[in-house]
């Protein structure tokens, strides 16, 4: 069974009866502490350095189109815990109410994404091109909702469509970047994305996180898979 190859299990016995027990694989103990320390330390420094840029982007958004500076979206975190994900608004106000009408134009069958989404503003295209719209997610990292590196955060409607083996990607906090980001971002299929996420969970190390963070920089600058 393909799904079971991703699930950790052990056999225990009640009398002579074998019982298959599934157990959670994520980050625990020292690993969890180290990852959280890296998240808080690095995100605090980046937020402090980029504060002037935050202010400039906020002003430009208000000039460019009507609506709030931030776009807030409900996402599923670790163990399906819902949280508010923050982004700089890159679309018109109330863009979500047009989403259902645009589903048939999605460039992917797995999840909704459009290379030429008509709801995206002129400034929004620029922000997305260089992933500047995602900078407020550093606030999510400080709050403990997300990590700098991890699986891509899912919408609740996306989680409800996942197979059992795919749910393992929810065993740790979602990240701003990850293997899915440096392997193609929006051009990566849902299936490939989740396989990379699970590989990351199974092979996590501090050096892997640092490597992914550094590899994210050229990917963002080259605008690979950004739309």
User: Over the stretch 126-161, which tens digit does the pLDDT of each residue have?
Assistant: 999 999 999 999 999 999 999 999 999 998 888 988
88 and 73 Cβ atoms separated by less than 8 Å? no
CA dihedral 57, 82, 179, 209 (to 10 degrees): 80
> Which range is most confident: 20-34, 98-112, 171-185?
171-185
Q: What value does the mean pLDDT of the chain take? A: 85
Residue 175 lies in a domain: yes
Residue 124 lies in a domain: yes
32-88 residue pLDDT tens: 999 999 999 999 999 999 999 999 999 999 999 999 999 999 999 999 999 999 999
Residue 179 lies in a domain: yes
Residue 149 lies in a domain: yes
The average pLDDT across 187-192 equals: 81
Residue 120 lies in a domain: yes
Give the confidence band of 118 by pLDDT, cuts at 50, 70, 90: confident
- Which is more confident, 83 or 7? 83
The domain in which residue 209 lies consists of: 29-222
**Predicted local distance difference test score (pLDDT) of residue 146:** 98
The average pLDDT across 102-110 equals: 62
Percent of the chain with pLDDT over 90: 56
168 and 8 Cβ atoms separated by less than 8 Å? no
List % helix, strand, coil for the chain (3-state, nearest 5).
50, 15, 30
Residue 22 lies in a domain: no
**Predicted local distance difference test score (pLDDT) of residue 106:** 63
Residue 4, pLDDT > 60, answer: no
**Predicted local distance difference test score (pLDDT) of residue 6:** 42
Residues with Cβ < 8 Å from 82, sequence gap 6 or more? 74, 75, 76, 156
β-strand pairing of 147-149 with 175-177: parallel
Cα torsion angle, 116, 193, 72, 50, sign: negative
Residue 109 lies in a domain: yes
- How many structural domains compose the chain? 1
Residue 49 lies in a domain: yes
């Amino acid at each position: 069974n393909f799904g079971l190859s991703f699930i950790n299990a052990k056999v225990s016995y009640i009398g002579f009866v074998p019982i298959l027990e599934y157990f959670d694989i994520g980050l625990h103990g020292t690993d969890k502490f180290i990852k959280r320390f890296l998240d808080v330390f690095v995100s605090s420094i980046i937020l402090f350095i980029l504060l002037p840029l935050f202010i400039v982007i906020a002003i430009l958004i208000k000039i460019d189109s009507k609506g709030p500076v931030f776009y807030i979206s409900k996402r599923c975190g670790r163990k399906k815990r819902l949280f508010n994900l923050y982004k700089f608004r890159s679309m018109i106000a109330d863009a979500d109410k047009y989403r259902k009408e645009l589903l048939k134009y999605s460039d992917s069958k797995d999840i909704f994404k459009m290379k030429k989404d008509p709801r995206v503003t002129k400034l929004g295209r620029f922000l997305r091109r260089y992933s500047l719209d995602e900078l407020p997610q550093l606030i999510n990292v400080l709050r403990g909702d997300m990590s700098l590196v991890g699986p891509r955060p899912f919408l609740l409607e996306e989680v409800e469509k996942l197979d059992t083996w795919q749910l393992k990607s929810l065993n740790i906090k979602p990240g701003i970047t990850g293997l899915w980001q440096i392997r193609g971002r929006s051009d990566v299929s849902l299936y490939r994305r989740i396989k990379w996420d699970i590989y990351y969970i199974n092979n996590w190390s501090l050096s892997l996180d640092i490597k992914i963070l550094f590899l994210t920089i050229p990917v963002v600058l080259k605008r690979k898979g950004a739309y």
